[in-house]
């Protein structure tokens, strides 16, 4: 049999083998590396894989550790965990609940808006969902909200941190797409390609983020109009209205200033994402100190949580590097190139197929697992077909937000189940997220039909 064909068959089997082992419950990072080594050994036996290719891994790992852009990841995680410990989320939820309480669906509106603010200031999905689940869910259920609507709006709003900057997913994708785009452009003879930066992806994700927030608010408004019993008003007692404006000012202004300092410095070209992340980390400690929440114990717990989350993400990245080397060296990238390039419909059909594959992978894999596996395989082909890298990155980000909501392994569902009252059935949580998953699919379709929603702001900033 042709060695090229054998290599491509092994590469395809390795991809499905990884998914199979993950479904059996094996740890992600070790599954990626272990399965790749197993199929690499099979490739050696069939003479289609040279073990010397593993020699590139040390340099790649050192590159990860010395990459200045990726330093922003632990800094943004630190900022998010510190803000969560400073109880900004609790104050925002309680204040916004009072502000919108007199409206039908008011608690739903406040959850969406607070989720958007926390996404722009923390970006830690787990902490956001748990916090809103502990505070808002009991209040919504006491007010007579439909459990499905209450759980759905909390889960969906809590996952906005995956696409609203400063998203750690966008940082990794920006770094990956930058390198891939440079390689693709040089292969096409363009030795001075337009660089792709994390700042470009942040700018490109702003309007899609607002689009998702608008769709969520529109759905809550739709329910308030068509089914008032599902989201009744929660009038605020007159004595609590006296200091409401002061409470709104105190709750909103500090996080808004931090968001402007971080995102404004990046989009304005004043600071790199890493520099802005350091400003955000220091700003989060200042906000915690202003609330008398900064102590050695809080700082210690924040550092440990940051190290845990960062280590998890980077260990997955190291395992994905082994997978990438074996897959590419056995000819898997050629197989993907031939498949996507020959699809009827050209580059748009290729992007649509990749989006569909990623959506269904989101049912069984985490966001980081998908981008570390799929982006290195598919992005070179799509960029070679002249797909805009910023548009592609943001489309992937919006698409993979659904991975937190889709069963059976939607982490947002697990987070909320862990803090929801025991009498709330799990089926209500699963049913509640369905409309919001459909809204995210609508958002993907809108961005697919109108790419300028993503590309307009980065081009405007670039002049």
Mean pLDDT in order along the chain per 10 residues (463 residues): 80 85 77 88 86 82 80 83 77 78 84 84 69 81 87 88 84 87 82 80 92 94 90 76 76 83 82 85 87 84 85 82 85 80 83 90 80 87 89 91 79 80 84 91 94 91 75
Using N-to-C axis directions, what is the helix angle for 147-158 and 198-226, rounded to 10°?
170
- What value, to the nearest 5°, has the Cα angle with vertex 369 and ends 367 and 370? 65
CA atoms of 264 and 283, how far apart (whole Å):
14
Q: CB atoms < 10 A from the CB of 436, how many?
A: 23
CA atoms of 264 and 262, how far apart (whole Å):
6
CA atoms of 218 and 197, how far apart (whole Å):
32
What pLDDT is recorded for position 448? 93
How deeply is 137 buried, as exposed, middle or buried, from its count of CB atoms within 10 A (0-12, 13-18, 19+)? buried
CA atoms of 52 and 77, how far apart (whole Å):
36
How deeply is 263 buried, as exposed, middle or buried, from its count of CB atoms within 10 A (0-12, 13-18, 19+)? buried
Contact 93, 114 (CB under 8 A): yes
What pLDDT is recorded for position 309? 80
What pLDDT is recorded for position 122? 62
Q: Is the dihedral of CA 379, 80, 141, 215 positive or negative?
A: negative
Any idea where the domains of the chain sit in the sequence?
A: 3-462
Going along 107-169, which residue ranges are E strands? none
What pLDDT is recorded for position 440? 93
Q: What SS3 state is found at 407?
A: coil
H helices within 188-295, ranges in order?
198-226, 238-241, 244-267, 273-290
Contact 86, 287 (CB under 8 A): yes
């Amino acid at each position: 049999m042709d060695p090229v064909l054998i290599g491509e068959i092994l590469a395809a089997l390795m991809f499905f083998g990884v998914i199979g082992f993950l479904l059996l419950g094996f740890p992600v990072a070790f599954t990626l590396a272990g399965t790749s080594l197993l199929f690499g050994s099979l490739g050696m036996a069939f003479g289609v894989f040279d073990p010397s290719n593993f020699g590139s891994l040390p340099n790649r790992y050192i590159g990860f550790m010395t990459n200045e852009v990726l330093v922003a990841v632990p800094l943004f995680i630190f900022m998010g965990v510190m803000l969560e410990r400073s109880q900004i989320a609790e104050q925002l939820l309680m204040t916004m609940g009072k502000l919108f309480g007199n409206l039908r669906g008011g608690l739903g509106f406040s959850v969406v808006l607070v989720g958007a603010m926390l996404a722009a200031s923390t970006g830690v999905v787990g902490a956001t969902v748990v916090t809103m689940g502990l505070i808002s869910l009991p209040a919504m259920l006491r007010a007579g909200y439909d459990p499905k609507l209450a759980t759905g709006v909390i889960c969906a709003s809590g996952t906005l941190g995956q696409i609203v900057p400063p998203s750690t997913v966008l940082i990794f994708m920006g770094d990956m797409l930058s390198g891939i785009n440079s390689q693709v452009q040089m292969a096409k003879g363009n030795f001075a390609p337009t660089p792709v930066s994390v700042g470009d992806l942040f700018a490109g994700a702003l309007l899609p983020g607002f689009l998702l927030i608008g769709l969520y608010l529109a759905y809550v408004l739709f329910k308030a109009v068509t089914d008032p019993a599902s989201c009744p008003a929660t009038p605020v007692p007159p004595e609590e209205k006296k200091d409401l404006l002061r409470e709104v000012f105190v709750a909103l202004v500090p996080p808004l200033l931090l968001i402007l300092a971080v995102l404004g410095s990046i989009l304005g070209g004043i600071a790199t994402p890493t520099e802005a992340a350091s400003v955000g980390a220091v700003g989060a400690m200042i906000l915690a100190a202003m609330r008398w929440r900064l102590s050695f114990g809080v700082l210690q717990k924040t550092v440990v949580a940051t190290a845990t989350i960062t280590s998890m993400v980077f260990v997955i990245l190291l395992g994905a590097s082994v997978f990438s080397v074996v897959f590419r060296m056995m000819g898997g990238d050629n197989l993907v190139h031939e498949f996507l390039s020959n699809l009827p419909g050209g580059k748009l059909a290729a992007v649509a197929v990749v989006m569909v594959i990623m959506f269904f992978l989101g049912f069984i894999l985490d966001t980081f697992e998908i981008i570390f596996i799929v982006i290195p395989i598919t992005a070179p082909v799509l960029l070679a077909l002249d797909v805009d890298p910023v548009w592609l990155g943001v489309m992937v980000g919006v698409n993979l937000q659904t991975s937190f909501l889709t069963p059976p392994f939607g982490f947002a569902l697990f987070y909320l189940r862990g803090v929801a009252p025991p009498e709330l059935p799990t089926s209500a949580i699963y049913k509640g997220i369905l409309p919001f998953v459909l809204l995210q699919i609508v958002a993907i379709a809108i961005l697919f039909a109108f790419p300028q929603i993503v590309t307009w702001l980065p081009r405007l900033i670039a002049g």
